[in-house]
Structure 1
């Protein structure tokens, strides 16, 4: 409870992301052989597995004999297409991401002031950690179910369809295709959920800083002016830095959320189409795996929308917290200072995905509605 580790919730996950080639290593600025290996490691890992595997999935979808066969592959192909946009974004902005994490972790401007703030911070970090560890375990469990469910089928079938350049429906060659499928899909699944976690954590961390400022403002309710004035100035300076962090966070998470929201409607649509044409009695294992996949996809859309909504909500709550201070008994200069701060708060804090929409719960509802509309249209076209 006394820990001041400000990124405790994702400390271990940052290490995992470095080993999976998603984040920059801390000592990549030197010029020795070890550093060179670390720089090319992400490409050596993801090019033969992630990008090649996704290319083979799309080749299978485009060369399918009919629309029903293509629909069995498209639901996962579109999912991995969103992963490519996330990977390109995180690699392109790797320096910015490393600087952002370093500032959240080590900048003394964000130090917690007292035991109550440290306790509050620790409790919220553990709450975030529980949510996303459950999400990560659930996603990996769905992948494991898909890998094992094919062994209960009468015919040879791959867990997640992709183009195989040799005849794999034989006892001798099936496990080669199955093994590559397991390795590549595990890396894709792990990369996807880790990038989701990091994007949500950035928004969660900034929302937490706004909540700390709310707590500090509310603590001034019974504080005399001689103590409140320096604390108010410190809060104003912190707010300026957090607003800058919010703009940086928008740059980092905007492409990821935009691609996820745009593709998610099609992913859910093709997954539901696959469920309709699959049937539970014929393929119970694959049916349950696809159903779990749809549930995970809905959670995957909901989480960034929820944390974006939390950021906006707690930033706008600062206005009420200012009114709860003992401002009626302050002197004229201090009240003028508060008035200037209230004018500053009139500018709403919102995180946008590109220039298209604000990240929040309304866009989640709209995405689900779009998925249902696409699904109904797809059923009519298939008939």
Structure 2
């Protein structure tokens, strides 16, 4: 999650703030990598869509062009906020306030991390498999065809020149695909990690069920301090993930719409390979929208569930002073924890359902 994004120009390298030639190369590396591949490739895709002779021809390119437009938003966002992302990652890794205290917490954390890895290994593997299917499927067509259409400034429909256009298509699209899925994974991990911290707070509150007041009072203060820190991290996470989720949700309805339009005009018998690839692409796109909505929903749910965890403490046996402390904490919990995409909507499952509904409405129109 950290090594590969550094190699493909998303995150800061270690010691990037120091002086020297090697440090300077690290700073310009993302632009050297993405300018000739990602940005040039996306520009060529849009040029192909704009110069198409009719809407049907443009629709064959627009479904992917809009997808890559969302990628541009994600890249610019992570580059603009790369210092904030690096600081958040460093704090989550090294702040002693987040250290686990006992075997139960360690077991919970390790199981949680394994579940996240399992989901995203399937997501990353599935996305790369769809891209690979697109690269290979064109060889089963009778005519020369590119896996993902873009404007080629030379005649490529010949035996000698086809593989130049195909090779650039494969390299550029693989970089775009990796960038897209890894930026998705990073944003989802931030929300997942903070949701796990809220769950950890709930576990520590419930562990005070049978604790005497002398032991519970200092522990409650530590929990309140940690909660305040986690809420601050939630706001920092929102700044990082808000633009990318907003762009993903806004563009996804159009992407699914144009993908369905492409399937309708393609037909399985005429182009079986590309038809199957497009179906797989739509499935991956739906998962891509669902995952940030799911983890945003998890963060909100577990943050709001802390109110119930407070009632799990041994509060009936506490003194008036400790009860007042808990009462202040309950008032603090009344302020809901929400991760918003821009100023438009909360990141959660309702927006996922609304996006799918919008895609169907656009397609029906």
* TM norm. shorter chain > 0.5: yes
| CA–CA separation in structure 2 for the residues paired with 1:92 and 1:348 | 28
Once the two structures are TM-superposed, the CA of residue 108 in structure 1 deviates from its matched residue by 0.5
| CA–CA separation in structure 2 for the residues paired with 1:26 and 1:135 | 28
Match status 1:324 vs 2:315: no
| CA–CA separation in structure 2 for the residues paired with 1:238 and 1:19 | 34
Q: How does 1:28-43 map to 2 (within 5 A)?
A: 28-43=16-31
1:166-194 Cα distance to aligned partner (Å, 9 max, x none): 00000000000000000000000000000
Q: How does 1:200-349 map to 2 (within 5 A)?
A: 200-349=188-337
Match status 1:189 vs 2:177: yes
| CA–CA separation in structure 1 for the residues paired with 2:238 and 2:179 | 21
1:107 counterpart residue number? 95
1:47 counterpart residue number? 35
1:8 counterpart residue number? none
Once the two structures are TM-superposed, the CA of residue 27 in structure 1 deviates from its matched residue by 1.2
Q: Which of residues 144, 147, 157 in structure 2 aligns to 1:159?
A: 147
| CA–CA separation in structure 2 for the residues paired with 1:216 and 1:113 | 10
Q: Which of residues 129, 135, 146 in structure 2 aligns to 1:147?
A: 135
| CA–CA separation in structure 2 for the residues paired with 1:113 and 1:351 | 28
2:2 counterpart residue number? 14
| CA–CA separation in structure 2 for the residues paired with 1:324 and 1:29 | 47
| CA–CA separation in structure 2 for the residues paired with 1:248 and 1:30 | 25
Once the two structures are TM-superposed, the CA of residue 360 in structure 1 deviates from its matched residue by 0.2
Aligned residues: 365
For structure 1, list consecutive stretches of 5 or more residues without a partner in the other structure: 1-12, 378-383
| CA–CA separation in structure 2 for the residues paired with 1:146 and 1:46 | 22
Once the two structures are TM-superposed, the CA of residue 324 in structure 1 deviates from its matched residue by 1.1
| CA–CA separation in structure 1 for the residues paired with 2:282 and 2:197 | 33
2:122 match: secondary structure: helix
RMSD over aligned CA atoms reads 0.4
1:261 match: secondary structure: helix
| CA–CA separation in structure 1 for the residues paired with 2:52 and 2:36 | 23
| CA–CA separation in structure 2 for the residues paired with 1:77 and 1:198 | 23
* Segments of 4+ moved more than 3 angstroms: none
1:355 counterpart residue number? 343
2:2 match: secondary structure: helix
| CA–CA separation in structure 2 for the residues paired with 1:291 and 1:103 | 41
**What is the TM-score when the length of structure 2 is the normalising length?**
1.00
1:24-44 Cα distance to aligned partner (Å, 9 max, x none): 001101111110111000000
Once the two structures are TM-superposed, the CA of residue 353 in structure 1 deviates from its matched residue by 0.2
1:314-345 Cα distance to aligned partner (Å, 9 max, x none): 00000000011110110010000000000000
Once the two structures are TM-superposed, the CA of residue 123 in structure 1 deviates from its matched residue by 0.6
1:123-181 Cα distance to aligned partner (Å, 9 max, x none): 10011001001100000000000000000000000000000000000000000000000
1:92 counterpart residue number? 80
Q: Which of residues 353, 359, 363 in structure 2 aligns to 1:365?
A: 353
| CA–CA separation in structure 2 for the residues paired with 1:26 and 1:108 | 21
| CA–CA separation in structure 1 for the residues paired with 2:237 and 2:149 | 36
| CA–CA separation in structure 2 for the residues paired with 1:203 and 1:233 | 25
| CA–CA separation in structure 2 for the residues paired with 1:165 and 1:85 | 26
| CA–CA separation in structure 2 for the residues paired with 1:181 and 1:325 | 59
| CA–CA separation in structure 2 for the residues paired with 1:244 and 1:60 | 45
Match status 1:170 vs 2:158: yes
**What is the TM-score when the length of structure 1 is the normalising length?**
0.95
